[in-house]
Structures are given as structure tokens and as C-alpha cells.
Amino acid sequence: MKEFELIARYFQQPTLSWCNEIISTSIGDDCAVLNIPDGQELCVSMDTLVEDVHFPKQANPYYIATRALCVTLSDLAAMGATPVGFTLAITLPSANEAWLKSFSDGLIEIAQQYQCSLMGGDTTKGPVLVISIQVHGIVKKGCALKRSDACVGDKVYVSGNIGDGAGALPFVLQDPCLQTELTARYYKPFPQVEYGQSLIGVASACLDISDGLIQDLNHICKSSSVGMMIDSRKIPLSEALLQECSKHQALEYALTGGDDYQLAYTAKHCVKGLCIGEVVSGSEVLVPGREAKKNGFQHF
């Protein structure tokens, strides 16, 4: 199959790639063209997934696609933005049609669910499978949820259970095709898009937890020049996770594991979410009672 046939068959489908009031040109030209509505700003973020680094090569291509798009949409959620479209750069060792069909079906599910159109991309052949997705979203001017405005006295919240993604990883590595509640959180994390939008005007700082709660909260501390005191007993852990490991291990996954894609945010007061601590003067996250070990995932 030739490159252009592949693009037409698996990516340029009306259920995956469409135009609307904002996207005036999608796949098929040299650039996608976006018409940003008055009073809105464009939010852009990119994530790259490399085989056997960010997902097992043998995993179901459907779930490689859902994971790739969901983790990228999570960055839009963290800004309070509304998804518009995404571009996809894919490097493939070969053009396997069954693989591509399943991969594009996974993209379709998430693109439809979050109304995020595939607007363009690049298709190349290379030694290993690499997927880069860039998402584009819009947010009312000046309203994007940043990391830099947390204040001493604010409370620290999370949007849901933490630790499932990291808790799933040993199972995913052992059997990339295992389907359990926990592995579903790894392959199809929930980007908290509506939740993020609901935090506009409420949260003083926000991010999505991708590399481990402590490490990610430290990003807010650094950007906002504050510290945080976290009560680890208040961190919500799922039943599914607690069935697979000890409470101590589950908490370690939650604090340092990453791959959660829940939101962590600060606010004076928020009726949503679970309060896990408070913003204090200082420069880093403190978790009383925990011996300092690693804080999260780092690539290098």
C-alpha cells in the first residue's frame, strides 16, 4: 500500500477527520486551517509515544491509539480548554492493514467522544513505531488554567483516584493484551476535559498528573513559588488497585507512579474533587510520614 492510499483509507475518514466552523481545511492540503473564534485563544500540546518505552509494541493497536490520543487530550483538560483537532505524526516499520484499521478505529472512538478531528499529520517509515500527536483546543482569552497562580492558604485537590495507571503497568508489561479494570485505565485513561472546563474561575493552578503526583505538584510549587503539605491518607485509591497490591504499595504508585491523567489543582475552595492538602509557604511538596525516595518518572 502506498503512502497516500494509506492516509486516505485509515486517516482521511469522515468519522475521524472533519471540518467545522473552526476547522476550515482538514486533511488533504499542505496545512490545516483554523479559524479561532473572537475572544478565544488556541492551546497547543504535543506528546510522543515510542514503542516499548511508552506502550508495549505487542499491545492491541486499538488501545495504542486510545492511549496516545487520551494522554494528549489530558493536557488540554489541564488548561480548561475545549478540544478542536489534532495532528498525527506516525512512523511505522511496515504498513500492516489489520494493524492500521484497528489503530484508526481506536482514534475514531476517542475523536468522536471528545469531538476532536484529525486535521493532518505526517506518515513515515522507520525502524520502530513512534506516534506523535499534537492537540489543539480553545479557551476563553485569559482563562487558561496555568501552574503559576497557586497561593498560600489554597487547598490542594485531585479530580479522582490516583495510582491506577502505575498499578496497571506491571500487568501490562507481563501481558500486553490482558484486559482488566486496571489495564483499561492504562490503555484508555479519561482525559478530564469537562472537569477542567468547570475549574475555570475556580482553580488558581492546575495540571494533569502524568509523571507522579509529587513530581507534578512540585511543578506547581516551582511555577507559583509556594510549598505544599500533602496528607497521604486523603489520597483516593481505587478498589481495583487495592485488590492487586498492599495499601502501602498503592500509595507509592499514587505518589510517584504517574500515568494517572487525573487533574491536580489548587483553589481557595472547591465543591468538586478531593482535598488532599494545602498550599503553604515553601518551595516543594512535603508528605509528612513518608521517607523521601523517588518523586516520579523522568526520561533521562
Size of the site for Mg ion (CB under 5 A): 1
Instruction: Give the one entry of Mg ion, ligand ADP, none that residue 29 binds, where binding means its C-beta sits below a cut-off of 5 to 8 angstroms depending on kind.
Output: ligand ADP
**Cα Rg of the chain (Å, integer):** 20
Q: Which is nearer to ligand ADP, 123 or 180 (CB)?
A: 123
Binding mask 73-102 for ligand ADP (x = CB under 6 A): ---------------x-x------------
22 binds, among ligand ADP, Mg ion, none (CB under 5 to 8 A by kind): none
Q: Which of residues 119-158 bind ligand ADP (CB under 6 A)?
A: 120-123
* Integer Cα distance of 113 and 55 in angstroms: 22
5 binds ligand ADP (CB under 6 A): no
Place of cell 511496515: 94
Q: How far is the CB of 191 from ligand ADP (least distance, A)?
A: 20
Which region, left, alpha or beta, applies to residue 42 given φ > 0 means left and ψ of -120 to 50 means alpha?
Answer: beta
- Smallest separation (angstroms) from Mg ion to the CB of 12: 15
* Residue 175 interacting with ligand ADP (CB under 6 A): no
Shorter beta-carbon distance to Mg ion: residue 25 or 113: 25
- Closest approach of ligand ADP to the CB of residue 125, in Å: 12
Which residues within the stretch 20-59 sit at the binding site for ligand ADP (CB under 6 A)? Answer: 27-30
Give the CA distances from residue 165 to residues 61, 141, 189, 225, in Å, rounded to whole numbers and listed in that order.
18, 33, 8, 29
CB 159 within 8 A of CB 78: no
Assess contact for 229 and 278: CB atoms under 8 A: yes
Contacts of 252 (CB under 8 A, 6+ apart): none
Binding of ligand ADP at residue 214 (CB under 6 A)?
no
Q: Which residues pair with 49 in a beta bridge?
A: 131
Write out the DSSP string of 208-264.
E-SS-HHHHHHHHHHHHT-EEEE-GGGS---HHHHTTS-HHHHHHHHHHT-----EE
**Closest CB to ligand ADP among residues 124, 179:** 124
**Contacts with Mg ion in 14-53 (CB under 5 A)?**
30
123: partner contacted, choices ligand ADP, Mg ion, none (Cβ within 5-8 A by kind): ligand ADP
Residue type, 26: S
Residues that bind ligand ADP in the complex, under the rule CB under 6 A: 7, 11, 27-30, 88, 90, 118, 120-123
